[in-house]
Structure 1
């Protein structure tokens, strides 16, 4: 069994501690805040002792060594090691709120006195710039509206998928709560007939048979499913050739309860025969 290395990076306050706990629960040997220049030596040292699964968390405090990481990861892959980079992200407003609620200082803040909101925003944006290169090479998870249990579940779901195959993630969401930052493609289905205005369907979701039956009879819904599927069937093979491991397709409606949920479920089932698929419902999974 080849060694599997999960490289966990992301913005401060985005949930790396929660993610590391999920990895520990899944049987990974975890280390936090490892300097990038020690990665290869650490893997060589720890592999014989801890078997096939290691997880390493890094952040912007190691900024001077981050440019070395892509070359190191390429070398590890050349040695037959399975490398799975994960990047945790969140909106700036969410991060500001989290730091304010916990009264923690941002790790990159070097000031001696109290930090105002504007200074904290500038520090967060500076951290985004430092980590932009790592974000581009990793599977991004937007934790802005995720509860800790949702993040843990998402991590475990992703790691259960085959690494050598593209995993297609369909995610429903509500536009009123913001577009997911981890989406590779976003489809707006708010123009479709809305079950919310049917009294018998209002409290149900797109996972319930009466809502599915209602939407299945709407020509616009069937056309939307066909158009999204046609687009993905055209471009997914090109993404595979580009060595993509994960593609997240976000489908949004007003409340993230009916139309987007139904279409995410339908597309997941449609593509499951050809690709590894996952289905998430951002607004429902947190209930």
Structure 2
């Protein structure tokens, strides 16, 4: 059996050049339910893009398509200008696409540095090279402006903001070029949320990682993002630079759409009909 190619046989699409990621006319169905109808999205290199929309709009489904967890039923995805067929989450990671979910995928009983190198541990012969992992974890976190005094502490002892920062740092230092953040500020207090917002600003200043962030706080989106996309009924209905839109305009746009809905969404707790990874 011939292996499925990881990229198309066609030449790179000129319209996708200069973009870290380009999604074109993506459709995703779950039985009779169409979660994504016709989604097109562009993420430029070094850009932070805010993705907003009501529960059930399809945001998490779109993230899962981009990270290789779901295969689209139609449409194309380009990474660095080259069309790709994402076979799995691991395949997407090999192309530089990584995701930080709300669940974070951290192991509470393990130390910060062990979580930083989870599934990519450094070894000294047959043994774990704990000294090197501890040193590098400390350096990586400091480089991102994250203050965790003891990287040998169990992750369970960290604050919510610190835990989120560890998950983001792990993705960045796994050579992520495109970072997908699914509700990184959910259920956080002001102090912890500020830590993550500062971390996103630092990533933007570095310019070597492109970020899509799902968020419900529009003020935070306008604060840290370069552009904002609104996803409604499984398609992108609004795409504008944050410098060109006010909080009042963005809020009114979403409220007007909510009022004009013909049918309320039956899914109120999740954007996705399946439980996800």
Scaled by the length of structure 2, what TM-score is found?
A: 0.29
Whose helix proportion is higher, 1 or 2?
1
Scaled by the length of structure 1, what TM-score is found?
A: 0.28
Larger gyration radius, structure 1 or structure 2: 1
Ranked by relative contact order (alpha carbons within 8 Å, sequence separation 6 or more), the top structure is 2
